[in-house]
Amino acid sequence: MRANFKPLTYKTKQHGFSMIEILITLVLVAIAILGTAGLQLNALRLNKGSQSRTQAIFLATDMVERMEANKAAAFAGNYVLLATSASSVASTNCSTAICDSPTLATWDLSQWGQTISTLLPQASWAITQTQVGNATTFTPAIYQIVIQWQERGDAKVAGSSSIVDSYTALRSISN
């Protein structure tokens, strides 16, 4: 005789389990979004630092090109500039007046300093002549250009009072 056989069925009542899964998923998604935002913020900070470094490279190249265009003043040492963070104002505007070599060098340094102070935050700069040039013996004049600036936000990230970035270029001016 065959017994009355019923398949086993499990009727369990699950209350709130789906809600817990959803809450865990929301927490994980929120953590992922915060992590992504932190990565984006770090990328923006590093991008600003690379932009400032690129500006410093362009500014140093600009000064070298000015020296190449005014070789007489470069050989005479008229482009030497002590470390400063304030741009000077030239007495003669060489864009509207005819200037001799030393006056043009003063104009170049003035314009260059104003550009640096505009483009780089809390910048300082210096130009030193490491080798005096001589046009008759074909000895090049060698200049060292140093540009320093402080990146915005670096002090908070590093935990120190200030972090100064710098770019140094060593260039020779030949006759």
**What is the extent of the structural domain holding 157?**
53-173
Supply 161's token pair: 């009072």
* Total length of the chain: 175
Residue 80 phi/psi, 5-degree rounding, is -70, 130
pLDDT at residue 156, as a whole number: 52
Q: With residue 141 as reference, give the H or E element that holds it.
A: strand 141-150
Domain-located, residue 33: no
Domain-located, residue 83: yes
pLDDT in tens, 91-139: 788 888 888 999 999 999 999 999 998 888 889 999 999 888 777 778 8
pLDDT at residue 50, as a whole number: 83
Number of domains in the chain: 1
The residues of the chain scoring below 70 in pLDDT are: 1-3, 5-17, 152-162
Domain-located, residue 38: no
Domain-located, residue 34: no
pLDDT at residue 152, as a whole number: 67
Residue 13 phi/psi, 5-degree rounding, is -100, 120
Domain-located, residue 165: yes
The pTM is what? 0.70
